[in-house]
Structure 1
């Protein structure tokens, strides 16, 4: 344990002993009063010492020193507690050989590192038989520690039991590896540790290392198998403290030391790598200590609600285009990347050791060593033949990865280590080298798993050096709930998704994208556009516009022609357009298609933009894509393709409506002529333009049945798992506020509305169609939910339930939402150009329970009728779009009324936005898709 300055300020052992003696003089050690006074004394000592340790840490930000100081404090308390037990309460005048006890720290506590709220792991060691005296002392020590509020993990064993169990259990084996004597009989501890080293450690290196590396692999899989998730686990996640500790354990098992300086002397690490190791270790420890202090518990996840405060405490300031919290998280991810590099270097050292001593760790994957185009292939991994290979020809850095991709090989850790040392050789000259650029382009567009190769290039640091613009977004995160990965990880995953679509691996999920991939003229254009689409994030401007500028500079360097470069720049500039039109605009409105066609201009661009959009959305996170989004994109694609290839966008509405009426007449073969004419006459022109042929048949059948039965209202639902939606049709008498009431009923039922169409008949009936999902973006009808939803809608329409009041009550009694961490500036956009027949209102704000119900109620009070609603949620951000008309069925053009609409909606967005206090009773209410 490191030297701790001014230990007496933390806890004065001598003063503590004197205070204990004073209590002994006043009270009988067997009395209840004695134990009470002793506990008070220890609590006072722990509280004082903890405050001193915390104050020192807040001043210095040095996590390692804090952990040592906290460990010292607990050591002294345990020693004092043990002395009270053995000297005053269970004193032995003539102890037998069995009446010995040794208190041993194991695990992290044994390592001498104790985070503020970490467990205190203790081993109570006794000779060969547990006596009543041992049980009494152990019980006293444990109860005293528990009463102090410490979390204690404990075990009671003999030395022989420790050895026997360690041979069977890798966890116990690891815990004992870090065993440290705390107090009691020291010889007992020494005896146990000698046996452990002789019988467990000696000659078992191979098994231990295999177990630890397998354990590490399984742990990474449990925690997302990526170090670039935006809410990482600092202890167990990939690139976290546990990975560093694994290296420590293996080093101690192999070399008998955890001193990094000694590992430098042994040739395991270079001095530069030692400094990286120490920096990474110190940074992660400091962050973990702040995390514990900030949350007041042993929290290991760096969640959104603590990231901003952690950044402030660690003194990260806002810079142009990048907030302090984003700079802090970028540093975290770069450190996690360093941990991965050091792990590979350490494994390379293990393999080198194995070559010298074949009996030592990690089995070789293949015995053959062969030459391949000037490189060495060993154990299925490609390595350089000479350590100065890259210095002789820097192009070989790219050639190595290219060859590994072509031959299905891994890259040897030794080669990665040399690349790390020679990264400065990737300079302007190499970036402009024609061969180097061709190698990079070939790897990115290869049919052989480009995602893995690009990730290897990124991990090695080559990617960011060769494409400096990409280097700027390495480890760059966005502080929101929508983006799950860092920008570089998102980009690499998106390229992987393009490759999978092309190979047919995602054919069932993305049939349209799969079918149009062979029609794309230039694969290079598509892959380069995916590479560049987010490359300008964090620069303080519109990343789409800035990214297009990057494309114009980078693409010629990569060998693309002027026309290809122009297309890539266009794709990057408009890479958000497809989703914006599909998710925010009414696709059945001809003006939507007309506006989109003006942007796209050609079928080739349409194809490219669709596939880019699919990959972009899929790569955001594991639960972002769903079938409903796919359906919207497909509908927009087909409508635009038809317009681009000769279809009529603005064909007369009357002619189109008449055509659809004739089509329905043909389909309703079992209906009488007068029934068909009556049904057709019930709908306005907008119905025929805004519904599909399939929908019209469903509606006709439902309305006929309801009218014959004289039902006051009818609710029909059907689910489509491929589109990930449940479609709910409500047919009832129209009245003001009907849409608002239904959305409120759906909100309190936990249904997320993603789309809605509202039609009113000439005889005063309403035919409203809602597309809903559950909270996970799937169909809503599981576990009988639909039955409850029908009942809630029915009770709401009858007036026996008031959803808008229930939403307020539920929000007040619920736990704080994670979205409350974020600031989303409310905005209302009123657009009279997006539709020829409607005013389009786009509302943006922070998502919260019942937001859609609140907005629709506000629109109702403004005497606006909603024809369709399109609902999207991006993490904490809600974007809801309404197509509305005034009470006369016209667009809203009066400036005073438009200003009032904006004012009232902004007021609705700002209501209930005060963060709630934690700890309130938990009830859930869905956000109705907003």
Structure 2
């Protein structure tokens, strides 16, 4: 007798099986802990709460989260099983629910090998038909026994909103879309047609995070596992080599695009060397897009798409035996594009004063917007707010001087605006051009009134008439501190990534006033910022700065490097969340 029959008969409900009793206990305990932190009824279990809930329950937060995901899956599987039984025996009791989607393939399996079954599954699988997107099966155990480590495994990186296995399957679905859908003009369908190997891309998408849960760098561990999978599957040597490289280097293009000067010939040639050949580069490009789209909101954006597309084109030129400069945007083409807006000599003079990274990373129409804003500034400061897709964009042009980034970011944080990403460039005549992608730190959206205050505060901050420290104190007093993600602060001073500049990389948890605190510390140390790249993904931040001392020297002495790294760690960890 099931629960419905018991209710109809007025008898006691049947005892739940042990696996569901355990799931019920864990889910109730988790819900109580969530309510204790939220001070209101809610059933959301975001990754940033995993550790705090573990502390509240006096358990390991990571292992507890894994158990929560498994509990939900066990309950989902049992509910689906009983619903299927009810449908098959025509006992739906008038609720009109449809039978759940079949998890097995609905198409005949023409290749009954484990690889054939996997390829069939990858062509059809959908992550929303079950909480367990790739259920255990003998053929899966034979081909990828390492998959069990990923099953319901929480991500350590908190910008991921799904467990590792679900993220991998969602990456497969996103990879399938790339053959027909283009987002942010990254020309993915054209690249996919050139690759011409959909099964290769789908397998790489499934395995790109297979190294998670193993010691060391997950990309390196994953490459070893991918080689084993390729051997078990009997892949041809060239396909195996591409798969292994794709797993090992799946973060190569997004990391280089958002942290390096992609106009630097050495950067391009090193990226080409690591990719190896044109088809592997195509695979890496498509995989990086699918990975980002499957990770969470705002991980893939128009700004990142532009950077990565520009990087891809330059690296492909190297692999096609052309010089990387062959893929550089031609100034005359930009002049032609903007011919209806500006005289040729105005555009040519603007481009001549900027480095190649600007030409690569900024689309022609946006270059035209910068020229117009510089004319509006007339030697002073001009600011403009618009939207890039779903993200607010703030553009500033002003006369270059030390501390501009500090002033701008201080004005932003003083109005509860967070920097998601952006770049800063300086023209040869001393005109600074900064573009910042901004979100609301309060999570409600920045309305027109607050944007009006921001647009007034930024020029005032640059001129020194807006008291940033006083405003920050007011913000910290008026708004409660946010939970700080469990992300250690790592500062790396790199003198091998560029011959002209020291590259400063900072990995840390996002917190109020982070970019302002970093740039203020650099300004106080008389360190100039030539190029800044900022990337905020959920609660995590990766900032990269191309820097030199005010006298033009790099920071190379071991003691100076150590002092700078130590100083920035102290500054960052001393900031209130």
Q: Do Structure 1 and Structure 2 share a fold, with TM-score over 0.5? A: yes
The answer (yes or no) to whether the contact 2:176–2:202 under 8 Å persists in 1 is no
Return the offset for 1:813: 3.3
Change (3 A) 1:568 1:305: closer
Matched with 2:503 is 840
Structure 2 CA distance for aligned equivalents of residues 715 and 543 of structure 1: 45
**Mapping of residues 476-625 of structure 1, within 5 Å:** 476-502=153-179, 504=180, 506-509=181-184, 511-625=186-300
Deviations 1:172-225 (A, max 9, x none): xxxxxxxxxxxxxxxxxxxxxxxxxxxxxxxxxxxxxxxxxxxxxxxxxxxxxx
Q: 1:347 aligns with which of 83, 101, 110?
A: 83
Return the offset for 1:571: 0.6
2:522 is the counterpart of 1:859: yes
2:416 is the counterpart of 1:741: no
Deviations 1:253-278 (A, max 9, x none): 345334325xxxxxxxxxxx723233
Identify the structure with bigger relative contact order (alpha carbons < 8 Å, sequence gap 6+): 2
The answer (yes or no) to whether the contact 1:838–1:885 under 8 Å persists in 2 is yes
Return the offset for 1:462: 6.3
**Mapping of residues 116-515 of structure 1, within 5 Å:** 248=3, 250-261=4-15, 274-288=17-31, 300-303=43-46, 307-308=50-51, 310-311=53-54, 316=59, 324-351=60-87, 353-354=89-90, 361=94, 401-402=104-105, 404-405=106-107, 435-446=112-123, 448=124, 458-459=134-135, 465-466=141-142, 467-502=144-179, 504=180, 506-509=181-184, 511-515=186-190
**SS of the residue aligned with 2:261?**
coil
Flag structure 2 segments of 5+ consecutive residues without an equivalent: none
Return the offset for 1:793: 1.4
Return the offset for 1:696: 5.9
**SS of the residue aligned with 1:811?**
helix
Change (3 A) 1:671 1:539: closer
* TM superposition score normalised by structure 1: 0.55
Structure 2 CA distance for aligned equivalents of residues 852 and 777 of structure 1: 17
Change (3 A) 1:302 1:681: closer
Deviations 1:794-851 (A, max 9, x none): 2223322122442243124321213x2x332211111122122221100122211111
The answer (yes or no) to whether the contact 2:527–2:550 under 8 Å persists in 1 is yes
Matched with 1:813 is 478
Structure 2 CA distance for aligned equivalents of residues 597 and 568 of structure 1: 17
Structure 2 CA distance for aligned equivalents of residues 326 and 670 of structure 1: 56
Paired residues, what number? 570
**Mapping of residues 722-761 of structure 1, within 5 Å:** 722=389, 724=391, 726-732=393-399, 734-749=400-415, 750=417, 752=419, 754-761=421-428
Deviations 1:888-928 (A, max 9, x none): 33433333333332222122112135x7xxxxxxxxxxxxx
The answer (yes or no) to whether the contact 1:444–1:527 under 8 Å persists in 2 is no
Structure 2 CA distance for aligned equivalents of residues 578 and 437 of structure 1: 31
Return the offset for 1:602: 1.6
**SS of the residue aligned with 1:859?**
helix
Deviations 1:280-304 (A, max 9, x none): 3333344445556777765644455
**SS of the residue aligned with 2:423?**
strand
Q: 1:872 aligns with which of 523, 535, 544?
A: 535
**SS of the residue aligned with 1:344?**
helix
Structure 1 CA distance for aligned equivalents of residues 74 and 346 of structure 2: 72
Deviations 1:599-631 (A, max 9, x none): 112221111001111111111124432222222
2:559 is the counterpart of 1:896: yes
Structure 1 CA distance for aligned equivalents of residues 97 and 522 of structure 2: 69
The answer (yes or no) to whether the contact 2:219–2:248 under 8 Å persists in 1 is yes
The answer (yes or no) to whether the contact 1:528–1:555 under 8 Å persists in 2 is no
2:316 is the counterpart of 1:647: no
Change (3 A) 1:612 1:620: same
Return the offset for 1:518: 1.4
Matched with 1:775 is 440
Structure 1 CA distance for aligned equivalents of residues 127 and 260 of structure 2: 33
Change (3 A) 1:309 1:436: same
Deviations 1:231-263 (A, max 9, x none): xxxxxxxxxxxxxxxx85x354345334325xx
* TM superposition score normalised by structure 2: 0.85
Return the offset for 1:556: 2.7
Change (3 A) 1:313 1:698: closer
Return the offset for 1:874: 2.7
Change (3 A) 1:310 1:772: closer
**SS of the residue aligned with 1:401?**
coil
Return the offset for 1:787: 3.5
The answer (yes or no) to whether the contact 2:505–2:543 under 8 Å persists in 1 is yes
The answer (yes or no) to whether the contact 1:628–1:725 under 8 Å persists in 2 is no
Change (3 A) 1:723 1:598: farther
Structure 2 CA distance for aligned equivalents of residues 304 and 450 of structure 1: 23
Matched with 1:926 is none
**SS of the residue aligned with 1:332?**
helix
Structure 2 CA distance for aligned equivalents of residues 327 and 730 of structure 1: 49
Return the offset for 1:880: 0.7
Return the offset for 1:786: 4.6
Structure 2 CA distance for aligned equivalents of residues 835 and 748 of structure 1: 34
Structure 1 CA distance for aligned equivalents of residues 490 and 7 of structure 2: 60
Q: 1:829 aligns with which of 466, 470, 492?
A: 492
**SS of the residue aligned with 1:435?**
coil
Q: 2:453 aligns with which of 781, 788, 796?
A: 788
**SS of the residue aligned with 1:755?**
strand
Deviations 1:746-772 (A, max 9, x none): 33232525122231544xx43222232
**SS of the residue aligned with 2:104?**
helix
Q: 2:468 aligns with which of 782, 803, 825?
A: 803
